[in-house]
Amino acid sequence: MKKYIIQSIRLTLVLTVLLCGIYPMVVAFAGGFSAGNGGGEKITRNGKVVGYARLGQSFSKPEYFWGRPSAVGYNAAGSGGSNKGPSNPDYLKQVSDRIDTLLKYHPGLKRSEIPADMVTASGSGLDPNISPQGAAIQIKRVAAYRKLDEKIVAELVAKHTEGPLLGLFGPSTINVLKLNLALDEIKK
Amino acid sequence: MNTELLGILATYLLTLVIAIPLGKYLAKVFAGERVWTDFLKPLEAGIFKISGINPKEEMNWKQAMKAMLTINLVWLIYGFFVLMYQDKLPLNPDGNPGMTPDLAFNSIISFVVNCNLQHYSGETGVTYFTQHVIMMFLMFVSCATGIAAAVVFFKAFRDKTTEKLGNFWDFFVKSITRLLLPLSLVMAVILAFNGTPTSYEGKDQFISLQGDTVNVSRGPAAGMIAIKHLGTNGGGWFGTNSSHPLENPNYITNTVELVAQVIIPIAMVIAFGIFIRRRKLSWVIFGVMTVGMLLLLIPTLSSELGGSPALEKMGISQATGAMEGKEVRFGPAISAYWSTVTTIISTGSVNSMNDSTMPLTGAWQLLGMMINSFYGGCGVGILNYFIYLIIAVFISGLMVGRTPEFLGHKVEAREVKIAALVTLLSPFLILAGTALSSFVFTNHGQAEWTVQPQNWLNNPSFHGFSEMLYEVTSSNANNGSGFEGLGDNNAFWNILTGFVLLLGRFLPIIGPIAIAGLLGRKKYIPESAGTLKTDTLTFGLMTFAVIIILNALSYFPALALGPLAEYFTMLK
């Protein structure tokens, strides 16, 4: 028994050096060559960081495309989903309110055109994407507030739609931050 | 077929393409045959030398279990104190506090037993130091513990009659050097180049496009996320696990993480057959497990892709499926696949919030964890399956009226008793634990605890019951996923699940190894016309029936009170 205790302690020490020292340092070294140098890929405008490419941020102004509802208000120092069950009455009320808000800001919008992702909270609370349909319903509003031709905005949305991986696997998505940055570019 | 379903198919096929050769490789590594990674021998020799271990010293099953329990105890004690005093240790750029004793108790057990139930949130509850030296360290070694235990078990059936089951330390170290570490390195680099952070910098701050000030948690996450999946651990660097855009940045990383968590459990099944020179047995076991997985996956897909009936009534479009708690870049299909895989295997990482999935999906997730052997966790999956197998051998033996045998060894009263006890342990822990928490919730809701029991649940009614049932089931299965709405960071849940975790880990490892050890030393009876063959389709069906009947009998009432009741109320 005593033999096993001493062997266990020594083995733990040597493995700690290998697994918690050498291994992560090798990974950190390799990660240094990635976009963002291992600190997360940032997006800059005029030399200032305006966001992380992978992290969603809150958009509530009508001249921007909106992202998905977030249970944590896009707080990237935490993260979180709503964890609401599908039959929870409070939750259903919340979804219903979100639908009403969308209908209010988008005259002429039909309920059946609203995609689920625009009225449900994401898992992380930091979802950077919306579905192409989620952008499509907002084109009219964004164009009106920016006094732009709807066609130009629609083209921009199409340009920022990323298809499935290799054209075969997974859903199509739109990165809201990148789309909104491109919108701001047009204005100039 | 649409691109989301095609994604599932591709992911599963890729898993097999990697897992099957990996199984052949593992069988060779543990049999001591020549393999291309033999250049690592000097590293292993060095580790053994420093630790004072002679890897050639043969152990019997009791010695192997003593070695396993000793080192696990060392990790428990040492980790407990490190977590409590993490605020006074280096590498804490965000200034996170030390853990309370009950949270440290729960967290250290949870990581030692390969569960990774997290009652803290990664961004605020741990430091970079403890994420590495405790969390990530234990992800490697707890998985290696499971694999080494499984190899000890394999050894009992390799030779006709034997007491010598190899050296536990040897298997343990080799599972790290020959398997986990190299694969983790490759995977961590893939993750890093797809956007997962690797640097030790602390929180960042920026001003968003709209002018909000945003703080961003980061840290060297890629290395931990790799082993978290390869080792079927599941504990996230960030609070929301693999739904977090830095932990799982895109569809590629999602595929890599999904494949990684399934390859070792499948490879162990393949390795078993090669190692004991009965490949057909392996394929039968693999077949039963795969059928089991499909039977859980297909209804899960159907309920998630169908969308929420409640949102359907509001008239909106759920073209892709239910989206609450899911990420757009993955979509409901692959998220449904993930939720199946992560619950049948003991990973417990999530890329969508299980609490918000459809009621029936919740039932399948629970059932996956209750059965816990359709592939199952690293090493322990096949051990869990073995218990069902022994019960099936026993029942078949009774049915045909002869002494049951497994691989030429008589299965007698003592072995069956152990198997029966292990089988009964899970329902006992799950049902008693849930009953106790329901009792406290209903009768002592006002108790003056950190979180009053009446405020535990994030959802009312049946779904609230499911949250408690899920928590205890996940602990017993050493899974680690949760219906995360549950307010679980308080003394009651920390201590309850702490004990469930410990019992649910070590007894189901010791049980099968004891049986194997006892069987292995019995006289070998050559096969004859009257032998019950365990590597046939018929016997596979028999085992499957045993799994379904045992679990249905044990858990149907509990499932009926939670997810099934919620499902039927939503139909109204």
In this predicted model, what pLDDT tens digit does every residue of A33-47 receive, in sequence order? 988 888 888 898 888
B213 DSSP assignment: E
Instruction: Assess whether A47 and A26 both reside in one domain.
Output: no
Give the domain extent around A142. 43-187
Residues B493 and B472: beta-carbon distance below 8 Å: no
Nearest CA in chain A to B307: A116
Residue B163, classified by CB atoms within 10 Å of its CB into exposed (0-12), middle (13-18) or buried (19+), is middle
Residue range B180-238, pLDDT digits in tens? 999 999 999 999 999 999 988 888 888 888 888 999 988 899 999 999 999 999 888 88
pLDDT at A165: 87
With a CB cutoff of 8 Å and minimum separation 6, the contacts of B362 are B354, B466, B470, B483, B562, B563, B566
Touching B: A residues 39-98, CB under 8 Å? 39-42, 48-61, 64, 68, 74-89, 91-92, 95-96
Whether residues A18 and A97 share a domain: the answer is: no
The verdict on residue A158 lying in a domain is: yes
Q: Which residue of A has its CA nearest to B94?
A: A77
Output the pLDDT for position A188.
Answer: 52
Chain A residues whose beta carbon lies within 8 Å of the beta carbon of residue B132: 20, 24
Cα separation, B246 vs A34, in Å, equals 14
> Is the distance from CB of B296 to CB of B340 less than 8 angstroms?
yes
Please indicate whether residue A96 or residue B403 has the higher confidence score (pLDDT). Answer: A96
Q: Is residue A109 part of a domain?
A: yes
Q: Does the beta-carbon distance from B324 to A181 stay under 8 Å? A: no
Model confidence at A5, pLDDT cuts 50, 70, 90, reads very high
Query: In degrees to the nearest 10, what's the CA dihedral of B255, B256, B259, B262?
Result: -130
Residue B572's pLDDT band, with cuts at 50, 70 and 90, is: confident
A163 and A96 in one domain? yes
The answer to whether residue A80 scores a pLDDT higher than 90 is no
Alpha-carbon span B283 to B410, nearest angstrom: 23
**Distance (Å) from the alpha carbon of B28 to chain A's nearest alpha carbon:** 23
Instruction: State yes or no: pLDDT of A79 exceeds 90.
Output: no
Minimum distance, in Å, between the CA of residue B569 and any CA atom of chain A: 8
Alpha carbons B466 and B462: distance in angstroms, whole number: 6
Residues A173 and A88 in one domain: yes
Residue A93 shares a structural domain with residue A48: yes
**Which among B53, B70, B329 has CB closest to A173?**
B329
Residue from A17, A87, A97, A168 to probe the interface with B (highest B Cβ count within 10 Å): A87
Number of separate domains in chain A: 2
- Judge whether A37 lies within some domain: no
The pLDDT mean for chain B works out to: 92
pLDDT band at B1 (very low <50, low <70, confident <90, very high): low
Q: Chain A contacts of B90, Cβ < 8 Å?
A: none
Cα–Cα distance, B284 to B295 (Å, whole number): 17
Report which listed range, B69-83, B115-129, B304-318, is most confident: B69-83
Q: Across residues A105-122, what is the average pLDDT?
A: 92
What DSSP letter does each residue of B127-156 carry, written as one string?
-HHHIIIIIIHHHHHHHHHHHHHHHHHHHH
Sorted by where each begins, the domain ranges of chain B are 3-204+217-307+318-571
Alpha-carbon gap: A157 to the closest alpha carbon of chain B (Å) = 16
Backbone angles phi, psi at A49, to 5 degrees: -75, 125
d(CA B145, CA B125): 26
Question: Is residue A176 assigned to a domain?
Answer: yes
Spatial distance between the Cα atoms of A66 and B383, rounded to a whole number of angstroms: 50
* A109 close to B (CB below 8 A): no
Q: Provide, as residue numbers in chain B, all residues whose Cβ is less than 8 Å from the Cβ of A112.
A: 315-317
Name chain A contacts of B95, Cβ cutoff 8 Å: none
Question: Which pLDDT does position A187 carry in this prediction?
Answer: 61
B206 three-state secondary structure: strand
Question: Which residues 206-235 in chain B show a CB within 8 A of chain A?
Answer: 206-210, 212, 214-218, 220, 222-223, 226
Evaluate if residue B342 carries a pLDDT over 90.
yes
Please provide the size of chain B in residues: 572
Please count the helices (runs of H) and the strands (runs of E) in chain B.
Answer: 21, 4
Any domain includes A112: yes
Q: State whether A73 and A164 are in the same domain.
A: yes
Is A36 inside any structural domain? no
Regarding whether A177 and A152 lie in a shared domain, the answer is: yes
Which of B209, B311, B483 has the highest number of chain A CBs within 10 A, making it the mutation to test binding with A? B209
Domain check: are A79 and A26 in the same one? Answer: no
User: Are B219 and A20 spatial neighbours (Cβ–Cβ below 8 Å)?
Assistant: no
The pLDDT assigned to A39 comes to 85
Helix (H, G, I), strand (E, B) or coil at A73: coil
Q: What is the pLDDT of residues B426-454, one digit of tens each?
A: 999 999 999 999 999 999 888 888 788 88
C-alpha torsion sign, points B114, B119, B124, B125: negative
Class of residue A13 by CB neighbours under 10 A (exposed 0-12, middle 13-18, buried 19+): exposed
Which of 123-182 (A) contact B at CB < 8 A? Answer: 123-131, 133-134, 164-165, 167-171, 173, 177, 180-181
Helix-helix angle B61-84:B491-520, to 10 degrees: 160
Which of B424, B392, B416 has its CA nearest to residue B551? B424
Residues A138 and A53 in one domain: yes
- Residues A8 and A64 occupy one common structural domain: no
Q: Do A86 and B308 touch (CB under 8 A)?
A: yes
pLDDT > 70: percent of chain B: 100
B252/A19 touch (CB, cutoff 8 Å), yes or no: no
Closest CA to B43 of B167, B175, B177, B220: B177
Query: What is the model's pLDDT at position B554?
Result: 93
CB pair distance less than 8 Å for A61 and B201: no
State how far residue B514 is from chain A, nearest Cα, in angstroms. Answer: 19
Chain B residues whose CB is inside 8 A of the A53 CB are 195
CA distance B480 to B111: 9
**B window 102-141, beta carbon within 8 A of A:** 121, 123-124, 132-133, 136-137, 140-141
Between chains, do B210 and A60 touch, taking CB under 8 Å as contact?
A: yes
Residues within 8 A of A (CB atoms), B 500-559 only: none
Which residue type does A67 have?
Answer: G
Q: What is the pLDDT of residue A22?
A: 94
pLDDT at A76 (0 to 100): 86
Residue to substitute from B13, B181, B317, B488, interface A, most A β-carbons within 10 A: B317
Over range B34-49, report the average pLDDT: 94
How big is the A-B interface in CB pairs under 8 Å? Answer: 382
Q: Which residue has the tokens 């030398």?
A: B49
Q: Of A179, A186, A180, whose CA–CA distance to A159 is shortest?
A: A179
Work out the angle between the directed axes of helices A150-159 and A176-187 (0-180°, nearest 10).
140
pLDDT at position B484 is 84
Query: For residues B353 and B242, what is the distance between their CA atoms, to the nearest angstrom?
Result: 10
CB contact at 8 A, A186 and A148: yes
CB contact under 8 A, B121 and A30: no
- Is the same domain home to A54 and A76? yes
> Do residues A10 and A102 share a domain?
no
